[in-house]
Amino acid sequence: MKMKRFLVLVLAAVMVTFSLSACDSSESSNDGAKTGTNEKNVEPKTIKLEFLQQKGEEAPQTAYAQIIERFREENKNIVIEQNTIPDPGNVLISRIAANDAPPIFTDYPTQMQFKQKVKNGYIECLTGHDFLNRVNQGVLEMSKANDGKNYALPLSQNYMCIYYNMDMFNEMSIDIPVTWAELMSACQKFEQAGIQPFLLSYKDLWCLGHIFQSLAISMNDGLVEYTVDVIEGEKKVADSAGYKALAEKILEITDYGNEDALGMSANQMWDLFANGQSAMIISGSYARGTILMANPDMNLGAFPIPNDEQDKTAVLTGVDAAICISGDATPEEKEAGLKFIEFISRVENAQLWSDTDGAPSCIKGTVYKNKGVLPVIDKINEGPIHDWMASSVQNNISNDLFTSVQAMIIERDIEAFLENVDKTIGNALQ
Amino acid sequence: MFYLKGKIDTNKLIYFMFSLPALLLYSFFYIYSVICGIYYSMTDWNGIDISYNIIGLDNFRRLLTDERFWNSLSITVYYAAALVVIVISAALAMALILDSLVRFKTFFKSIFFFPAMLSSVTVALIWDQLFFRAIPVIGKGLGIGLLSQSPLASTKTALNAVILVNSWQAIALPIVIFVAGLQTIPKEIYEASSIDGANSFQRFRYITLPYLIPTLTVNFVLTLKSGLTVFDYVYAMTNGGPAKATEIISVLIYKHGFQEMRFALANAEAVILFIIIATLSYIQIKISGKGGVISE
């Protein structure tokens, strides 16, 4: 028996040492990073910085790689290592929660989740640095945290639009539709000519969510604000004429879409559209690079999702790819990170980035060169515009909402959909 | 434990030391995680905030009335049950056929084992493409309404489609285990029963099956466990959709934990799943430990 007790003790001791040593090793690796200090008369040591970049597409990866290369020429002792991973948002959260935040990363400053990270001190404040003055004032205002300060450098803007095949539109002599009625009549013409008007991807919930949000915002009817009121218990979705009209529009556009929309993933949609399988798709700025990669010769155009009345059309646009520094980074890492942010915010570098990535830059003095997308960019500059839902609605509620939309598309029952949304929001708030 | 006639039994100690690294790793990565999980299930941590409160069993109470959780649980039970029935019966049938082969036995065994060597996500993504691109063409060509679109796109067929793909791969390992089990049955018994006039069904029922009970138990537990904890196939093929039709418990845990920022609630769900699996495994081992030839 004594032997048994002794063994248990030994085992416990070994386990404790094991876990302690795990802590030790992580600390010592931090120490390793701290040694990059500049002492007088000593060559500055090279410091390596991980840069977790949330965009997996090839275009932004190349754009960042180019900037990093230029940066390296100017700062020989700072090595920035771009890291791109699948499912970056979730990985970033897990790493932050595990005290393993990358020193520099990109994030979405207008989203509620970002503001939560700021509140917990996970992200370094950037207000007071001169490079912020290079950013468009409107975008800078939009990306402020709750305390009125900026925690990220907004580099580019994203948007939702209808991408169209310019050649197909030219062949059928169809102009860019500027009202919903014109869009529907264009769909009808394509259908009569045996061309699939729309390809839709309802399989991936996020993609369905983007289509839903962009349609909601194009209506310019305060639907996002209404949803916030519903969450606060002041209103009911079932009473909303706007929600009903939106649901009708979704079903209308679904009728002009592919039969297998619920089985089609976003990637399949981009791929088939790029290869001439439909005249239009509803997608975001993020899709442009992928579509052109699938078919580099395609004449790709984009226009805003039209409202019933032309001058009321609003565009869904938000701050994309904003760069921030971890609050847990060492002083040396922070200093190097700030240098990198300053570098990328210079007009010539922002221009290079925007040219490669394909998204419009937020830096003053840059020029947007993609002619096909100009109808959307002009509309964004002209307004009205609206931010993504994630800036005002919690993720769990919007996910439930999109799931209800998916069910409505299957069952085609608008009344049930409206009631279902009220019910799921009620459940989520319990 | 290590005493033998008043002296330390060095042999036993050596065996113990050999298993020590595995034991330590197991303790650290599994037992420690389980304890952490139970702890967080009693908090209101959202996965980001530095501070959180201990709220006792509130998460569990909440789950008792949570429609989404129960829906998810029932889907998971259906999934596991269907997987067990399909995999065990098909694997047993395949093993019996393979075992009765006179020639090319090894060749066919390797062929049927092949799916086990593929990563499950790879299999899921390949089948996803097959469902999307090939099945509708076949369905339309043959005029079968059910197959005229991807089975993953309909709430009615999505779950069964995923189970089918999972079974396609999951069947490989049980076949090999069954074949190994069949080879342990002494041939003399079959000969003796033939002389006594037993037909092939009687031989299967009274000789093969009793000898196979331990193998059956292993396969049953393995398949049941993989069915209850399946994640990769569903995540890769449907991500719980359409309209939550395939939202099995592990996908719900993942969504709650990492997408909807209800980390503590996700942990409570994981703890419930853990209790269910532990109980089922215990009952299963207790019941099937009895009976069978080898265990007697």
Q: Provide the percentage of residues in chain B whose pLDDT is more than 70.
A: 94
Task: Test B149 with A430 for CB contact under 8 angstroms.
Answer: no
For residues B230 and B123, what is the distance between their CA atoms, to the nearest angstrom? 14
Q: Mind listing the pLDDT tens digit for each residue in A228-242?
A: 999 998 999 999 999
pLDDT confidence bin for B286, thresholds 50/70/90: confident
Q: pLDDT value at position B143?
A: 84
Instruction: Give the CATH superfamily of B66-289.
Output: MetI-like (1.10.3720.10)
In 3D space, the residue among B233, B102, B121, B107 whose CA is nearest the CA of residue B167 turns out to be: B233
For residues B265 and B255, what is the distance between their CA atoms, to the nearest angstrom? 11
Tokens 């396609």, residue located: B168
A260/chain B closest Cα distance in angstroms: 6
Q: Domain A45-157+319-369: state its class.
A: alpha beta
pLDDT confidence bin for A219, thresholds 50/70/90: very high
User: Nearest Cβ partner of B1 from A3, A14, A264?
Assistant: A3
- Measured between CA atoms, the residue of chain A closest to residue B13 is A7
For residues A190 and B296, what is the distance between their CA atoms, to the nearest angstrom? 74
Task: Test A264 with B132 for CB contact under 8 angstroms.
Answer: yes
pLDDT confidence bin for A405, thresholds 50/70/90: very high
Token output for B124: 């899921």
SS (H, E, C) A79-119: EEEEECCCCHHHHHHHHHHCCCCCCEEEECCCCHHHHHHHH
In 3D space, the residue among A203, A325, A305, A294 whose CA is nearest the CA of residue A253 turns out to be: A305
A395/chain B closest Cα distance in angstroms: 5
Q: pLDDT value at position A11?
A: 52
For residues A89 and A83, what is the distance between their CA atoms, to the nearest angstrom? 13
Tell me the domain boundaries of chain B: 66-289
Asked if domains A45-157+319-369 and A159-317+374-429 share a fold, the reply is yes
pLDDT confidence bin for A49, thresholds 50/70/90: very high
Q: What mean pLDDT comes out for the span B215-237? A: 90
Task: Test A93 with B48 for CB contact under 8 angstroms.
Answer: yes
Token output for B190: 């079959």
Query: Which DSSP symbol is given to B184?
Result: T
| Contact in structure between A380 and A139 (CB atoms under 8 Å) | no
For residues A329 and A50, what is the distance between their CA atoms, to the nearest angstrom? 11
Q: Mind listing the pLDDT tens digit for each residue in A152-180?
A: 999 999 999 999 999 999 999 999 999 99
> What SS3 class is residue A185?
helix
B47 compared with A49, residue with greater pLDDT: A49
Task: Test A205 with B27 for CB contact under 8 angstroms.
Answer: no
Q: Mind listing the pLDDT tens digit for each residue in A75-91?
A: 999 999 999 998 898 89
Tell me the domain boundaries of chain A: 45-157+319-369, 159-317+374-429
Task: Test A427 with B3 for CB contact under 8 angstroms.
Answer: no
Q: What mean pLDDT comes out for the span B146-153? A: 84
Interchain CB contact of A85 with B (< 8 Å):
no
| Contact in structure between B211 and B197 (CB atoms under 8 Å) | no
> What SS3 class is residue A330?
coil
Sign for the CA dihedral angle at A385, A390, A392, A393 comes to: positive
Q: pLDDT value at position B6?
A: 63
For residues B235 and A90, what is the distance between their CA atoms, to the nearest angstrom? 15
User: Nearest Cβ partner of B24 from A7, A15, A116?
Assistant: A15
The pLDDT of residue B28 is above 70: yes
Tokens 């029952």, residue located: A413
> What SS3 class is residue B278?
helix
Q: pLDDT value at position A27?
A: 38
| Contact in structure between A227 and A420 (CB atoms under 8 Å) | no
Radius of gyration of chain B (CA): 24
For residues A232 and B20, what is the distance between their CA atoms, to the nearest angstrom? 56
Instruction: Give the CATH superfamily of A159-317+374-429.
Output: Periplasmic binding protein-like II (3.40.190.10)
What residues contact B289, with CB distance under 8 A and at least 6 apart? B217, B295
